[in-house]
Structure 1
Amino acid sequence: MSTSRPPRTGPVSVPADRPARPAIRGRRPVVVLVAFLVALGGGVLAAVQRPSADAEVLVSDGMATAPVAAPTPSPSTASPSPSALPPPPPDPPVLTLSGPVPSTGRGTFGYDDRPAPVLGRAGVLRRFRVAVEHGSAEDVAAFGDAVQAALAGPGSWVDSGRLRLQRVPGTARYDFTVYLATAGTAGRMCLAGGTDIRVGGRPYTSCRAPGKVIINLDRWRLSVPHLVKAGLPLERYRLYVINHEVGHQLGHHHERCPGVGRPAPVMQQQTLFLDGCVANPWPYVGGRRYTGPPV
């Protein structure tokens, strides 16, 4: 018959002869675990680093995809850079104006009343007015600007250093007037001053009468056939005709071509012929008075 052992109460004593559990020196298991995690993390970082330039795949969102190369335009479809494009060709010069030209006007004139500076650095001062015939369909300010540019030069009559010119209003004191007139009016004004400007029965050229420089509207708008054929811009013909007729007002007479291929003197009748010379609108060329043999 067995007898049950009664439960122990109170503190349990350890027999003195039982050896105590030795203490654990250091933390080796923890170090091993940390080293393992570091090694594992380095592998993960290495796995997500961007591959080198010669890698065959890229890692993106956990999926391997082939690298996408930037498209290279073919030589036939590539657009040239703006700097490589040639500049646009210049507009061709205006040789003559189109449209009808009034052959007659009212015979009365409007004046350019704007103030203008003195042209030239020294010498006698000659004042002039600028006028455009009513009914000519021309603007008096535009004609005034063209006269001013022709007489300002460089190359104009004021380059002598002995002459100054100034445009003045129509009511001011003046020495001469530059008129733009229709062919019919110009013909009458020139004939009254002693010059017949008709060619083939029609008033053709411009002229100078005492105190009057008279520019024929036909020539102002149309130039002349041989100069149009030579490609002379209308703007240069206008410079010539103003300087030529003002030259008469200043006391200069007609001259001839000095030689084939040379510039025509401004006092040559370039409206009628060049005689082998090259059209030239200026009385001074290269800073010197340019002349030809007298007629």
Structure 2
Amino acid sequence: MPVPESGPGTFTVATAGVEDTSTGRPYRVEVEDGIGVDPDEAAEQIAAVLDHEQGWSHSGDVVFRQVADESATLVIRIATPNTSDGICAAGGLDTHGELNCRVGRTVAVNLKRWQLGSPEFDGPPEEYRALIINHEVGHWLGYGHRTCPGPGEPAPVMMQQIKGLYGCVSNAWPYAPDGTFHDGPHVP
């Protein structure tokens, strides 16, 4: 499926899955208009990642809840490469029409990566989507980049796996099934 390079720069907010509760960190999902991604379906996939037992909320320390209003402290936007680049450039990042980023409270998900995954990642696009969300939300939670801890080890979710695995094995989750945090040496 061809991925459009640019879109109108306007977004539709997902409303299915919105929780009317006072607990959890409020996040909002937005999808650029006219790019062929249903906002509510995307929000459902993102909620599954955020609530996954190997995700950031595995220990119960971090709880997320989806909202559709300005109370969101995290905004996840799926956008065309050009729109995504514009969001990232506002934070001083050059993403070359290829990368995702986090700028302030906004996570920009490049539509190309959402639809096609990454040539470096050994897994289907759906699993790569989990990596995108976990990596960029990890930045929002205050985590910096990591690198491969050793050959054959799972790549830390905070590793820029799209830039190469350096002997590690592709991995989309912050935590192993046994609760061990996938970590590696800090990248300055």
**TM-score range relative to shorter protein:** over 0.9
Q: Deviations over 1:120-140 (max 9, x none)?
A: xxxx83100000001212111
Which of 190, 193, 208 is the aligned partner of 2:88? 190
Partner of 1:293: 185
Does residue 126 in structure 1 map to residue 25 in structure 2?
A: yes
- Asked if 1 retains the 8 angstrom alpha-carbon contact of 2:28 and 2:76, the reply is yes
Which of 63, 73, 97 is the aligned partner of 1:164? 63
Supply the distance in 1 between the matched residues of 2:93 and 2:59 (Cα, whole angstroms): 28
Q: CA RMSD in A?
A: 1.5
Partner of 1:34: none
Query: What pairs with 1:100-139 in structure 2 (closer than 5 Å)?
Result: 100-116=2-18, 125-139=24-38
Query: What pairs with 1:33-182 in structure 2 (closer than 5 Å)?
Result: 99-116=1-18, 125-169=24-68, 171-182=69-80
Aligned to 1:166, the other structure's residue is in SS state strand
- Asked if 1 retains the 8 angstrom alpha-carbon contact of 2:77 and 2:108, the reply is yes
Q: Deviations over 1:79-133 (max 9, x none)?
A: xxxxxxxxxxxxxxxxxxxx21111011000011124459xxxxx8310000000
Q: TM-score, normalised by structure 2?
A: 0.93
Give the counterpart letter for 2:71 in structure 1.
Answer: R
Aligned identity (percent) is 40
Q: By how many angstroms is 1:172 displaced?
A: 4.6
Which of 70, 87, 105 is the aligned partner of 1:211? 105
- Asked if 1 retains the 8 angstrom alpha-carbon contact of 2:27 and 2:72, the reply is yes
Query: What pairs with 1:221-260 in structure 2 (closer than 5 Å)?
Result: 221-227=115-121, 230=122, 232-260=123-151
- Asked if 1 retains the 8 angstrom alpha-carbon contact of 2:119 and 2:162, the reply is no
* Higher Rg: 1
The number of equivalent residue pairs is 184
Supply the distance in 1 between the matched residues of 2:34 and 2:163 (Cα, whole angstroms): 27
Aligned to 1:187, the other structure's residue is in SS state helix
Partner of 2:157: 266
Give the unaligned 5+ runs of structure 1. 1-98, 119-123
Give the unaligned 5+ runs of structure 2. none
Q: Deviations over 1:140-169 (max 9, x none)?
A: 111101101111111111113321111111
Q: TM-score, normalised by structure 1?
A: 0.60
Q: Deviations over 1:193-225 (max 9, x none)?
A: 221111xxxx11100000101100011111122
Larger RCO (CA within 8 A; separation ≥ 6): 2
- Asked if 2 retains the 8 angstrom alpha-carbon contact of 1:104 and 1:182, the reply is yes
- Asked if 1 retains the 8 angstrom alpha-carbon contact of 2:155 and 2:165, the reply is yes
Deviation above 6 Å: which 4+ runs of structure 1? none
